[in-house]
A and B are shown apart, each in its own frame.
Chain A
Amino acid sequence: MRRALLLGLVAGWLTPACAAHEHGAPGQPRDLQGVWEKSLARPALAVGVAFDARGRLWRARVENRQLWISRSDDAGKTFTPPMAVNRVPERIAADGENRPKLAFGKHGELYVSWTQSLAQPFSGHVRFARSLDDGQSFSAPLTVNDNVEIISHRFDSLLVDGRARVWLAWLDKRDASAARQRGERYTGAALYYTVSDDRGATFAPNRRLAGHSCECCRIALARDTDGTPVAFWRHVFGQNTRDHALARLDSAATLRRVSHEQWAVDACPHHGPALSINADGVLHLAWYSGAEKQRGLFYAFSRDRGQSFSAPLAFGQPDAQAGHPQVLALGTRVVLAWKEFDGQQTVIRVQQSRDAGRRFTQPVTLATSASSSDHPLLVSDGTRVLLSWNSLAEGHRLVPLPGNRP
């Protein structure tokens, strides 16, 4: 009895600290440290790829605490020897939701961003570097978050807008940290962003786009046809409803709720959404929900810049763990890609639409692996669409989608 009471007291003493620190902050149980260190040492499977305006494919991957950039002039068949971005090694997050990012300026600038993992569990800084000589050399990395507490500033997203400004958005726990210091609770994280109008030499003071985002789901960022960046992310509505929200990174920055599965859960899904905007300004959105009555993947479009949305279309097989969706729109062609497990191996499935998302073809399998793997990534050079996928056994693959014009 005495022991039970004491254990209850210990549980009571430790638990609020963990709960209040939701995904990391100083004060986590000390033994988490070792687990965090080991997770950082696992193979970095998340690979970033992007086509530049000249149709050359760039790849960013992490090895031995360095970010390595290489280029392919034949759509991924061969790559140049990789160049290191950070000369001083640092721990770089490269799991499924934390992928290194690449973007391009109007005059051949190459921009890269990533999340640096810090010593405390679940803490990080958003890092940025640029190359002005076609990837021959890189600037010393900048820390973009202007709050530098050892807390979470992670899950970075990178975009160049219509005026060649460089935008970064990420999930930030500074408001949660401030609340804790006041002895208050804070639900989730917050979505912060910054912008550079001098080709990434300097960044404006950080601004908050929205409070109370989900803590560990990637942010989808895309450029609207008027040049404005649009963010799409898993938000926490009310106490713990983890559905999706959209906001334009303009002066109004009005948050619009996109999904209503009502996934009320005190858990972190590690399952972020996807967004693509075609040349007609139609938004195409894909996301995952674990709500009991609506578990699985969903797709919707918006023809009025995110004022209203089509009825969500369920895709993928919930009984095959369908998850980690990608969407890419090219004119009236819309491609959906996602991960499933067929009982023996992981498969990447795709479905395509030729009428701007109204009807889709039957799903087909594009790639398989019986080993650990990255989430799928769709990329386009403006004509073709390719699947980029890295797996432990097979390595990094670029697979052209069926229906690409020769």
Chain B
Amino acid sequence: MMPSIRAMLALLALLAGVAAQAAELKPFVAGSLQQIRAAHAGRPFVLALWSLTCSHCQEELARLGALQRRHPQLNVVLISTDTPEDAETLTATLARHGLARAEAWVYADGFTERLRFEIDPRWGGELPRTYFYDRAHTVTARSGALAPAELERRAVAPLAPP
């Protein structure tokens, strides 16, 4: 069912407003993952790798955005494997999926093999790629867009009080 033109225009106006509030993208370089882990010490979080060139990532972002709305206490950290040049598009995309206020990073080193190795030496580069950190930062990795039920189960279970 297609929204009417007027509804679409209204939505676009809303999007423009949301995009304007988007958090700043942080440059992801060697050492950034340690920084992220340290900043979330003792807390569970979801680390989601995505790219504008990956269509399945759009599904994953939409599901993460929906999950974030249902569980405002959920910490979502997003890393885009695009480039800092794409910042405007990246923040607009995150805003569109309701992730404007999530912590967001973008690859800022052309030698992407090094960044990928630091994130996970076993990761072959397929996207989306999602890491679920529990309170002790034991991590579970999953590739591909996850079914909403699986995404919710893996993201929300670690939030339960110990």
Contacts and interface: CB of A to CB of B under 8 A. Distances in A.
A9 to B, nearest CB: 7
Contact of B127 (A29, A36, A267, A318): A267
A38 B86 contact: yes
A24 B3 CA distance: 23
Given A19-B59, A35-B52, A321 B126 contact: no
A24 B54 CA distance: 9
A311 interface: no
A26 B126 CA distance: 24
A319 B122 contact: yes
B127 A268 contact: yes
Contacts of B126: 265, 267-271, 290
A264 B114 CA distance: 27
Interface in A2-26: 3-4, 6-15, 18-19, 21-24
Contact of A295 (B15, B86, B111, B124): B124
B143 A343 contact: no
29 contacts: A3-B18, A4-B69, A6-B11, A7-B69, A10-B11, A10-B96, A11-B66, A12-B62, A31-B89, A31-B92, A35-B86, A121-B53, A122-B53, A266-B59, A267-B54, A267-B56, A268-B56, A271-B126, A290-B124, A321-B123, A341-B113, A341-B116, A341-B121, A370-B111, A371-B110, A372-B110, A372-B112, A372-B113, A392-B110
B144 interface: yes
Given A267-B143, A319-B121, A372-B112, A10 B15 contact: yes
A346 B143 contact: no
Interface of B: 3, 11, 14-15, 18, 52-56, 58-59, 62, 65-66, 69, 82-83, 85-86, 88-89, 92-93, 96-98, 110-114, 116-117, 121-129, 143-145
A243 to B, nearest CB: 14
B118 to A, nearest CB: 9
Contacts of B98: 4, 7-8, 11
Contacts of A22: 55-56
A267 B116 CA distance: 17
A323 interface: yes
A3 to B, nearest CB: 7
Contact of B121 (A31, A321, A370): A321
A229 B53 CA distance: 32
Contacts, number: 139
Interface in A120-153: 121-122
A39 interface: yes
A279 B32 CA distance: 51
Contacts of A14: 58, 62, 96
B17 to A, nearest CB: 9
B21 to A, nearest CB: 11
A179 interface: no
B124 A269 contact: yes
Nearest to B142: A292
Q: Which has the most chain B C-beta neighbours within 10 Å: A11, A320, A323, A341?
A: A11
A183 interface: no
A35 B54 contact: no
Contacts of B112: 372
A404 B87 CA distance: 49
A371 B112 CA distance: 9
A270 B125 contact: yes
B10 to A, nearest CB: 8
A192 interface: no
